Amino acid sequence: MDLVNVQVNGEWKQFPKGTRMIEALRQAAVDVPHYCYHPKLSSPGNCRMCLVETGMPARPAPGQTEVEKDEHGFAKILWSPRAAIACANTISEGIGIRTESKLVQECRKGVMEFLLINHPLDCPICDQAGECGLQEFSVEHGRGESRFQENKVKKPKNRQIGPRIVLDDERCIMCSRCIRFTSEIADDPVLGFTERGSYTVLTTHPDKELANNYSLNTVDICPVGALTSNDFRFSMRVWFLKDTKTVCTGCARGCNMEIGSRKDVIHRQTPRENNAVNSAWMCDAGRLDFHYVNSEARLTQPTVKEQGTHRAATWTEALARAAAALSAAASPGQIAIIASGRMTNEELFLATRLAAALGGCALDVVPRLGAADNYLVHADKNPNTAGARLLLGAEPGSQLAAIRQGVDRGEITTLIALQENLLGEAGFTPEQLGKLTCFIAGHILANPSAEHAHVVLPLAASAEKRGSLINATGRLQRLNQATTPAGEARSDWEVLRDLILAVSGQNGLYAIEDVFKSMAAAHPAFAGLNLGKIGDLGLPLLETAETIPVLEREKERRAKGIIVG
């Protein structure tokens, strides 16, 4: 890697040749205010907020071979009288950059003054308040007073430009991030500017709307409150939210995200940058897949069936009923466990332990397939198929047909289902479930198969528990708890631990860390690891040949010099 010497605010530093100024300054821990620049998008250089003072190394005068040098031995820098944008210019050997000179400060004040001329005083009602670049930079770099004496230009407000997006045009500062995202990332160029000067507005093309499955990313990258989410709009002030770093469980991609919650209620999910998984993006379906956590359909208390009717029970009673049914089975062949690819590695490991404690009964995971796209959405809708394959030592779904046949023939009389509606992808029928002597169902939501269960156990949602998952590319990632389980719901690993204790007397697992330790001892792939070592961005665990389309396209754009991030 070729390194070049650059003077940054009087100090000489080294950066890779060809680095854009704004990225070099970021590497030097120097913040440069900006609006239009985004490391994953092209740089139009239209906001002018990232202006810096630059200088070139002096050249020898005619007839001379030496140039004047500074105390560090570098050529003296000749400073330009004009500021340059840091987002679109690259560094070269011996140049100088100043970010706090009088020239730069006056430029920033001028830019802020123009941006605020027609901007409405919407801060008290704007969803962007608390994370608004215009607010922050106006305090740090603005004049502190307005010299504008004319009437503000009025632009459209509260315009629905897509099923999930609302546009307030008068807040727009024309950074064009949203336009570039829809064109460069989502391949859906439906946004553009119309009119000129103070009357410029952002709008959709005629007879078009912003409706693609990645539309909410435009809300994330909008530096002001021009684009807002229908789902989050007027829901909660961001400074009240507790942000929890975790991963999406909507498919096998495992996009990194943050859950914003308050008082055990999830208000939004936003993407978290991970250049090995999802870049800086996330699909709309994944980020909106959280309302079920606080829905009325949540199972919040164990129930047992008596005379064809479910009644509420304590965990002690429900687990005792389940354990008695398991112990009453004449042989391991009469019991089967159907687990889920939604379960964490720790939970799947304990499912194998329960199967072993029951004498080696059948155990399988329900596969779940759907549509994929050429960006982030994966066809595998289970977030932990790779973990299930590793821990069970078999392909998910390989024993389902045999288990269904065993139930049909009366050979399997006791069935445990965890996180699965067996009348869905598992392929069971109500008649088959009706043949079971004991059906134990653990799930997050009330569902048709739970109606046939003799014991129903309420389980925690992914946002309510901890653990680890392995995504489609073999990356081990950490699931973190954002909210407490609803009602009396428990994590799957706690339920499995208690069932193992009830049927075998084995115990010793008091925390999720203990489960991971036991799993690491049993499976070499996890050797030397723990939940802490996984880190916020995860780590590669398994070798797969799979690539991530959005990252491959990003590599191509970086190779062409379109982006640098």
Write out pLDDT tens, residues 240-254. Answer: 999 999 999 999 999
Residue 62 pLDDT > 70: no
Cβ contacts of 31 within 8 Å, gap of 6 or more: 25
Query: How many domains, in total, are found in the chain?
Result: 3
Say if residue 286 is in the same domain as residue 354: no
CATH number for 501: 3.40.50.740
Write out pLDDT tens, residues 164-178. Answer: 999 999 999 999 999
Write out pLDDT tens, residues 121-138. Answer: 889 999 999 999 999 999
Q: DSSP code of 45?
A: -
Question: Smallest Cα–Cα separation from 476: which of 392, 539, 525, 532?
Answer: 539
Residue 311 pLDDT > 90: yes
Could you give the CA distance from residue 99 to residue 108 in angstroms, rounded to a whole number?
10
Residue 61 pLDDT > 80: no
Say how many C-beta atoms besides its own lie within 10 A of residue 294's C-beta.
14
Residue 303 pLDDT > 90: yes
CATH number for 205: 3.30.70.20
Say if residue 360 is in the same domain as residue 420: yes
* pLDDT averaged over every residue in the chain: 93
Residue 29 pLDDT > 90: yes
Residue 69 pLDDT > 80: no
SS (H, E, C) 130-164: CCCHHHHHHHHHCCCCCCCCCCCCCCCCCEECCCC
* Strand-pair partners of 52: 84
Could you give the CA distance from residue 467 to residue 405 in angstroms, rounded to a whole number?
33
Query: What number is the average pLDDT over the span 224-240?
Result: 95
Q: Does 558 reside within a domain?
A: no
The domain boundary, picked from 94, 116, 138, lies at 116
Write out pLDDT tens, residues 436-489. Answer: 999 999 999 999 999 999 999 999 999 999 999 999 999 999 999 999 999 999
Q: Does 287 reside within a domain?
A: yes
pLDDT given at position 95? 93
Residue 296 pLDDT > 90: yes
Say if residue 392 is in the same domain as residue 436: yes
Helix (H) or strand (E) holding 246: strand 242-247
Say if residue 136 is in the same domain as residue 239: yes
Q: Does 406 reside within a domain?
A: yes
Percentage of the chain lying above the pLDDT 90 cut: 85
Inter-helix orientation angle 102-116/133-141, to 10°: 130
Q: Which domain holds residue 52?
A: 3-116
Q: Does 33 reside within a domain?
A: yes
